[in-house]
Amino acid sequence: MAARSIASMTLSFGLVSVPVKVYTATESKSGVGFNLMHKECGTRLKQQYVCPHDGKVVERADMVKGYEFEKEKYVIFEKSELEALEASASHTIDIVSFVPTEAIDPIYLDKPYYLAPDKRGGKPYRLLQEAMRDSGTCAVARWTWKGKQHMVQVRAGNDGLILQTLLYADEVRSQADIGIEETEIQPTELQLAEQLIEQYRVESYDAAAYKDEEKERILAEIDKKIAGNKITAAPAVEHPGAQVIDLVEALRASLKKKPSAEQPAAPRAARKTTRTAAAVEEAVEAAPAPKRRAVRRAATEDQPAPARKTGTKR
């Protein structure tokens, strides 16, 4: 089925205006969903809106939207008024600046959209795409959509322009508030960790190479249930109560393992290792033994381990 645009806009910078159409770039493919059923008769339950004032079920035709301007005080908007508010909004994506493509921290990136040229917009569209690609920049712009003004990034993709909404500063929590512990890293540990990264490194990310294995596992169990079998939990894996971890030894052991088939390692010729494995091994032998630290790996008898989440929905 051909893609359908969700809006027609004008991408504007300086005195240049590019008519564009906006398309959704992603679709949600959530995990396996479960419906709420009536235990007695096995009928799927329906969601209803009930008025707390008179206890009656309210049909959608009798619902209106309201804005709470004071505690428990609302002003009611008719459908035509809401449409008027939307119609008076700006239909322009106003570019305010150009920045290096890597200047925007990915944590601020929100929902992506595709932009395509509208009528008579083909040449300025391609001109902007090529100019940003050659200069290594992206655009920062304002976009008003569905009653909210978004700051957005417009960047040059392989096939066209991509618009991605950005989170505002007050919508991103500070990681400094978590209180991450400061630790001392030994040079030998850093060298081994970098070598391990190079062993698993690839030059690009291929989204098609990965699949939702948890979803497939749950669907396979559901098929068993449909066939009349009972689903039972897999035997719990026992862990030792406490384990002393030697970080250097763990890194050395990891280097001996080969990357999985799903994430192939980069060819040796493409790797930029600063030290050979033999040199790192010599450094390990010469380095002083690291301090051992006991780490709790399993719950005690007084405090059982928390149940693992399956990621399924009710």
Q: What is the pLDDT of residues 288-314, one digit of tens each?
A: 554 444 444 444 444 444 444 444 443
For residue 49, which of 36, 38, 64 has the smallest C-alpha distance?
Answer: 64
pLDDT at 13: 86
Residue spans of the domains in the chain: they are: 7-26+86-171, 182-203+242-298
Q: Which of 11-20, 95-104, 250-259 has the lowest mean pLDDT?
A: 250-259
Q: Could you tell me where the DSSP H helices lie in the chain?
A: 79-87, 122-135, 187-200, 213-226, 247-256, 277-286
Distance (Å, rounded) from C-alpha 202 to C-alpha 225?
40
Q: Are 10 and 20 in contact (CB under 8 A)?
A: yes
Q: What is the CATH number of domain 7-26+86-171?
A: 2.40.290.10
Q: Are 12 and 94 in contact (CB under 8 A)?
A: yes
Q: Could you tell me where the DSSP H helices lie in 47-186?
A: 79-87, 122-135
pTM over 0.75? The answer is no
pLDDT at 262: 53
